[in-house]
Amino acid sequence: MKFGRFPPLEATGAVLAHTHRLPDAVLRKGTVLTSDHIALLCRHGVSEIVCARLEVGDIPENEAARRIGILLEGNGLKAGRAATGRVNLRATAYGLIDIEPIVIDRLNRLHPGMTVATVPERHVLRPRDIAATIKIIPFAVPDAALRQAEILLQGRLPLQLHPFRMLRVGLIITTMPGTPQTFYSLVETATRHRIESLGGCLLPPVQVPHEETEIARAVELLTDEAVDVLLVAGASAVVDREDVAPAAVVLAGGEVVHFGMPVDPGNLLCLCRIGSMPVVIMPGCARKRDLNGVDHILRRIFAGLETGPEHIMAMGVGGLVGTTSSIPDLDEMTPEDYHPMQISSAVTPRIAVVILAAGLSRRMGGRHKLLQPGPDGRAMITHVVDQALQSRASEVVVVLGDHAEEIRSALATRDLTIMVAADYAQGLSASLRAGIAAIEETADAVLVCLGDMPFVSHRVMDRLMAAFDPIHAPIVAPVWEGQRGNPVLWGARFYRDLSRLSGDRGAASLLDRWQHRLFRLSMEDGACLIDIDTPDDLVSWTVSAAI
């Protein structure tokens, strides 16, 4: 690949390195230059452009990313379409990711422009969560490097998602003289939370004195009930392999597999087994919901992964989990639990803006409202689009329908993507589907804006984006004086629901359905409630903006 400055007449077939804005068109970074592009550049007197010329043996960035994605997908992971040299591997189920770091490291060392980034080991993924992203950094990489990747990955799956199974779990809680009643309720509540968050079923707990024979009898009782996993929460923590609770498991016909683990909190966990059934004697920290060693063990068990001493002793890297990370359980949260500062991802999410501008303007008296001039003479749609372009959005998509060509012309020279919803007459949902299709493989969230809301500033958009958190605030909506407004931000896990909407209500029904996952962000004014629907609205906008 040759990179540099070239006269346009020598650049046919080359890849444009930087976005080039002309008076009547925009040529984007990554465009493969055709004879029409060259003619356009020459017509405007462009003497040279920065681009990359691919040579024999070079594989374009999207094709290279696609090929690596195919090599890595499988076992619960699906590769998306390639765009800007990137392919995301997304989970197809709710489960635990298993990673071979050595293989990923070797893959990343094959060529500096060929990269794979994954989530941390022992990470829990939900459907559509990104497990890894493949990014080709230059515009092309040598075919030889890709062939090396194919050899390295032949017969290997260094990334595998293991879906959680529905398991029946028994719980024994032991008591000692002076044990407060709150101990029992705390343990049951936290354990039920853990098990149900993994899709399991917790049987009614059995409470017994903290004595070897009593615990052994309870173990035998629950073993007869054919539980898949047995948990023991002792009133006194285990301090030795021959302590009361482990000895009780041995008395009931089991064995001690491993005591202690390099995870904190959770050091004093004891893993036992009766036949093929795991028995986990939990450390004292298990009475809280905070992430600890018990969660690491349960996740492996629920995912069907072998769990033995070698697996436990390999948990030290990343084992210092602290006491502030909680197990996410969105269905049990209320809006008050969501806080925009609780960012759960170490990577800044890519948030796209989709502007819906396909409507028929039936109430505007025969005029198309989005083309009507504002106080500065520019069309209304340009005000909305320009605010989006000033925001921190990773990309801006405008969905058109009625008067598509006129609106497209009004937006010429702007760096954005235009989609046309062929079925726009079916209502707002058709525009939403088109918008989601444009960004679903490249964005972690989408801010859905309406083309007739010119009062919404880029500052409002940025505040909504800053409030987004994929776990604690997966939906964010602006609120003014108790009334919910627009635009609304949606995390990627809701793309499928948004794409299945019908009619002209937009996503209002989804907001009602998922209101317990909604973070309501208070606004400083009522701009989020004001849209321009009628000639009177248009006059009010023009006058108020001019004052």
pLDDT of residue 538: 79
> Mean of the pLDDT values across residues 282-303?
94
**Where does a domain end: 102, 129, 163?**
163
pLDDT of 325 higher than 50 = no
Q: What is the CATH number of the domain that holds 229?
A: 3.40.980.10
Of 102-111, 419-428, 438-447, 477-486, give the range with the top mean pLDDT. 102-111
Mean pLDDT of the region 235-253: 95
So what's the pLDDT on residue 361? Answer: 67
What tokens appear for 157 in the block? Answer: 């799956």
Query: 274 and 395: one domain?
Result: no
Predicted model pTM = 0.61
Identify residue 432 by its one-letter amino acid code: L
Q: How confident is the model at residue 543 (pLDDT cuts 50, 70, 90)?
A: low
Residues 62 and 19 in one domain: no
Within-domain flag for 331: no
DSSP 114-146: EEEEEPPTT-EE-TT-EEEEEEE-SSEEEHHHH
Burial class (CB in 10 A: 0-12, 13-18, 19+), 362: exposed
pLDDT at 108: 98
Do 282 and 349 fall into the same domain? no
Residues 367 and 488 in one domain: yes
Compute CA 95 distance to the chain's CA centroid, rounded to the nearest angstrom: 14
What confidence tier does 145 reach under pLDDT thresholds 50, 70, 90? Answer: very high
* Residue range 239-255: mean pLDDT, rounded: 96
What values do phi and psi take at 444, rounded to 5? -85, -15
The total of other beta-carbon atoms located within 10 Å of residue 80's CB is 21
What's the pLDDT at 537?
Answer: 77
Encoded amino acid at 294, one letter: V
- Strands 277-282, 229-233: parallel, antiparallel or unpaired by DSSP? parallel
CA gap 426, 408 in Å, rounded: 21
Mark which of 53, 73, 91 sits at the end of a domain.
53
Residue 14 inside a domain? The answer is yes
* Residue 82 domain boundaries: 58-163
More confident residue, 345 or 348: 348
Give the CATH number, domain containing residue 38: 3.90.105.10
Question: % helix / strand / coil in the chain, to the nearest 5?
Answer: 35, 25, 40
Domain boundary among 325, 353, 368: 325
| Predicted confidence (pLDDT) at residue 324 exceeds the cutoff of 80 | no
Tell me the average pLDDT across 346-359. 84
Whether 174 and 233 map to the same domain: the answer is: yes
- Looking at residue 365, its pLDDT comes to 58
Shared-domain flag, residues 142 and 88: yes
Say what the pLDDT of residue 232 is. Answer: 98
Contact call for residues 203 and 171 (beta carbons, < 8 A): yes
Residue 278 pLDDT exceeds 90: yes
Pair 422, 485 in one domain = yes
Torsion 374-377-379-385 (CA) sign = negative
Q: Mean pLDDT over residues 359-381, rounded?
A: 79
| Nearest residue to 541 (alpha-carbon basis) of 384, 361, 358 | 384
DSSP per-residue string spanning 456-493: --HHHHHHHHHH-BTTTBSEEEEEETTEE-S-EEEEGG
| CA 314 – CA 195 distance, rounded (Å) | 24
Same domain, 310 and 401: no
pLDDT in tens, 299-313: 999 999 999 999 999
Domain CATH for 464 = 3.90.550.10
Q: What is the pLDDT of residues 190-222, one digit of tens each?
A: 999 999 999 999 999 999 999 999 999 999 999
Angstrom CA distances, 40 to 19, 35, 407, stand at: 14, 9, 22
Categorise residue 122: left if φ over 0, alpha if ψ from -120 to 50, beta otherwise: left
Q: 7 with 148, same domain?
A: no
Closest CA relative to residue 421, chosen from 402, 397, 439, 400: 400
443 domain-assigned: yes
Measure CA 193 to chain center: 23
CATH at residue 115: 3.90.1170.30
Q: What is the mean pLDDT of the chain?
A: 89
Query: What average pLDDT does range 353-382 have in this prediction?
Result: 82
Mean pLDDT in residue range 303-325 = 86
Q: Are residues 48 and 81 in the same domain?
A: no
Lowest mean pLDDT among 430-434, 501-505, 528-532: 501-505
Domain count within the chain: 4
* 332 belongs to a structural domain: no
Whether 466 and 340 have beta carbons less than 8 Å apart is answered as: yes
pLDDT of 473 reads: 82
Residue 329 — pLDDT band, cuts 50, 70, 90?
A: very low
Interhelix angle 244-251/212-224, nearest 10 degrees: 50
Residues 288 and 240 reside in one and the same domain: yes
- Confirm whether 391 is domain-assigned: yes
Checking if the pLDDT of 345 tops 70, the result is: no
Across 113-117, 431-435, 541-545, least confident range: 541-545
330 lies in a domain?
no
Percent of all residues in the chain with a pLDDT value above 70, rounded to a whole number? 93
C-alpha span between 143 and 60 (Å, rounded): 9
What are 515-532's pLDDT values in tens digits? Answer: 778 888 989 889 999 988
What is the three-class DSSP state of 314? Answer: coil
First to last CA, the chain: 56
Helix axes 380-390, 458-467, angle to 10 degrees: 50
- Is 257 part of a structural domain of the chain? yes
CA angle, corner 435, sides to 433 and 441, nearest 5?
A: 100
How does DSSP classify residue 10? G
Determine, yes or no, domain membership for 183.
Answer: yes
Tell me: the pLDDT tens digits for 215-234? 999 999 999 888 999 999 99
pLDDT of residue 334: 39
Non-local (6+) Cβ contacts of 422 within 8 A are: none
CA angle 315, 318, 324 (to 5 degrees): 120
Residues 393 and 363 in one domain: yes
> How many C-beta atoms lie closer than 10 Å to residue 166's C-beta?
10
